[in-house]
Amino acid sequence: MKKLVLAMFLAVGIGYLIVDQPQGGAHVFANEQKPEVGYQAPHFSLTGLNNQVYRVEGKRDKPVIVNFWASWCGPCKMEAPDLQKIFEKYGKEVDLYGVNVTSNDNPETAMEFVQTYKLTFPIPMDVTGAVSDRYKVMAFPTTYLIDQQGVVRKKIIGMIDAATLEKELKAMLAE
């Protein structure tokens, strides 16, 4: 927990960090699951606040943004309205999953957070922390952009504003 809090403060202190495609003609390792750019996104299935099941497991109809957050996280509070704007604008072209890391939070405050910020995108609940562990989440928020092939295209550590996220999303959608 101390490492997580320290990493969170570090991420807040530097704003955000976008981990991009490696330089020098990097290969896509589409068959290996790893929470890194160019690899197949680790597969998961989580139940949301609405009791529906949400999955990331390889090829899909639309790209997906997976945002890991907690209700006590200050940068998550600042980022939430921007994520809602992105969802309202691009919801037909991309899925957006706001994964609450419930193992570091609690369901009641997560629900209050969702109501306070009027979030209408799916909120899968990572009750055991297994998914955030597989994605090696060290700071909140952490966001992954995953293409239709199920490959991680971007890893964003820390809060990101709507304009920058939209730019990254447009680039992914244009490919």
Count structural domains, the chain.
1
Question: 87-102: per-residue pLDDT in tens?
Answer: 999 999 999 999 999 9
> What pTM does this model have?
0.85
143's enclosing H/E stretch is strand 142-146
Q: How many CB atoms lie within 10 A of CB 31?
A: 8
pLDDT digits (tens, 9 = 90+) for 148-164: 999 999 999 999 999 99
Residue 88, CA distances (Å) to 79, 94, 102, 158 in order: 15, 10, 25, 22
Helices (H) and strands (E) in the chain, counts: 5, 9
- The CATH number of whichever domain residue 128 belongs to comes to 3.40.30.10
d(CA 172, CA 98) in angstroms, rounded, equals 19
Q: Which domain holds residue 56?
A: 2-174
Locus of tokens 């964003």: 156
- Specify the amino acid at residue 57: E
Q: Report the alpha-carbon distance of residue 14 to residue 107 in Å, rounded.
A: 29
Quote the percentage of the chain above a pLDDT of 90.
81
Alpha carbon 154 to chain centroid, angstroms: 10
The type of residue at 26 is A
Alpha-carbon distance of 121 to 78, in angstroms, equals: 16
Q: What is the pLDDT of residues 98-147, one digit of tens each?
A: 999 999 999 999 999 999 999 999 999 999 999 999 999 999 999 999 99
Cross-strand pairs, 144: 66, 155
What is residue 31's predicted lDDT score, i.e. its pLDDT? 76
